[in-house]
Amino acid sequence: MPSVKASSIHPDLESVLVTEAQIKRRIKSLGRELREVYGNEEFTVISIINGAILFTADLLREIENPVRLDCIRISSYRNETKSMGTPQLIHSLTLDVTKRDVLLIDDILDTGKTLAMVTDLMHKLKPASLRVCVLLDKKGRREVDFEADFVGFKIPDKFVVGYGLDFAERYRNLSCIGVLKPHLQNPPEWS
């Protein structure tokens, strides 16, 4: 999308990678993909917050199965745009997932460290099945071997914001996914 359009959506955006309409369409088709796998059976959705909040909320409305919802929080191990170490679980599950069909939802699969860590933890709880759904996949950035079962969009190696994804906790509320103008990717006053 040309930059003129991007900055009319939000003045801080250099470009839009995924539009609001594309997100809506893809979420509808992800709903159908989930239906094909889970049939009419109940499953337990575990959303990794904050990033997956918007995606989870919209995807849930495309699911007709009985679902249970829980959220977990992972400590940020990044300094704005860069990965800094090892992710840690800081808010755990409240639902019991043993012998349940579990669908783990995250905003983006980047190095893979977060989802590798969370799926290891989940497997210890002995779910009947464990599948992973991510809105975005930056495959070129993988540092650990990890693939999601459901992927909304494959995107290039760019730091993106919007639709749940943040830069220093800002921009989660944009309805599209875009790339910030370069001078905004390092604002010293933000923390």
**Please, what is the minimum distance in Å from the beta carbon of residue 41 to ligand IMP?**
27
Chosen from ligand IMP, Mg ion, none, partner binding at 109 (C-beta under 5 to 8 Å by type) = ligand IMP
Does residue 107 carry a catalytic annotation? no
Q: Which is nearer to ligand IMP, 51 or 152 (CB)?
A: 51
Which H/E stretch holds residue 14? strand 13-18
Catalytic residue (choose from 58, 106, 110, 137): 110
Closest among 34, 44, 60 to 97, alpha carbons compared: 44
Residues 22-61 that bind Mg ion (CB under 5 A): 51
Q: Which is nearer to Mg ion, 53 or 67 (CB)?
A: 53
**Please, what is the minimum distance in Å from the beta carbon of residue 67 to Mg ion?**
21
Chosen from Mg ion, ligand IMP, none, partner binding at 110 (C-beta under 5 to 8 Å by type) = ligand IMP
Whole-number Å distance between alpha carbons of 54 and 172? 8
Binding site for ligand IMP (CB under 6 A): 51, 83, 87, 106-114, 159-161, 165-166
Dihedral of alpha carbons 101, 66, 63, 176, sign: negative
Read off the DSSP letter of residue 140.
G
SS3 77: coil
Place of tokens 């679980």: 89
Whole-number Å distance between alpha carbons of 110 and 141? 6
Q: Which is nearer to ligand IMP, 52 or 98 (CB)?
A: 52
Using CB under 5 A, list all residues that contact Mg ion.
51
Q: Which residues are catalytic?
A: 110
